[in-house]
Amino acid sequence: MRNRCGKFLYLSVLSFNLVITSNPIKAMRNLTLYHAMTATAPHVYEDLGNSPYPDSTSCIFLEKGHMIEYVQAGARKVVSLFFGPEEYVIPCHPFYSSLKRLDPVTTVTFTHRNIFRTLRQHPESSAQYQGVRLQYEEKVSDRLRMQHTMTPRERYDHLLEKQPWVFSLVSRYDIASYLDVTVEELRELAR
């Protein structure tokens, strides 16, 4: 799997500093975030599974630019995650999450079929794969911890510290959705 620059998917294996185990291949997506974000919404959707089609998107490498992910929670969309340059974007649900560009982006898209073919043909790419999964799991874990254990002030400060670009690229409504506050509460937090 090569991107336009001719670099392999396993771009900088050493930068992940991982201890690789011989665990079987698991899908990158973790539905925990989706279930947590929609826990209070009525589930009117049929559960269609975790990996719908071999040629569906598994992940997107965001070379430059910024993206936001929404999940459908009943009748409303909730902001689940923000992604910035040099990050892998892994939608938290194969059907009920959507991505939106916040500015011009350059991406490389990987399908389930391409990833698993690469892993079979190039076992050394397993380190990159495990690294991407680990980074995503840490991002999801951080988001869930933020959602369940922090006060609105702590969530605001955490976002300001970790992803300050959000405040210049994202609407107040979407930031409020992410922080689980009203737009008025967000104005108070910003003072």
Over its C-alpha atoms, the chain yields an Rg (Å, rounded) of: 17
Are 190 and 166 a contacting pair, CB within 8 Å? no
Its sign, for the CA torsion 30, 32, 33, 35, is positive
DSSP character string of 16-53: G------PPP--S--THHHHHHTTTS---S----S---
d(CA 82, CA 159): 10
Token pair, residue 142, equals 């951080």
| Amino acid letter, 130 | Q
d(CA 70, CA 78): 5
In the chain, domain spans: 28-128
| Integer angstrom CA distances of residue 145 from 19, 22, 45, 52 | 25, 29, 26, 28
pLDDT for 114 equals 87
Class of domain 28-128: mainly beta
pLDDT for 38 equals 53
State the distance between the two ends of the chain, measured CA to CA, in whole angstroms: 48
pLDDT along the chain (191 residues), means of 10: 35 29 44 55 44 72 95 86 94 85 93 87 89 90 92 96 96 95 96 88
pLDDT for 29 equals 55
Dump strand ranges (E) for the chain. Answer: 57-64, 67-73, 76-83, 87-89, 97-101, 106-111
Q: Percent helix, strand and coil across the chain, each rounded to 5?
A: 40, 20, 40
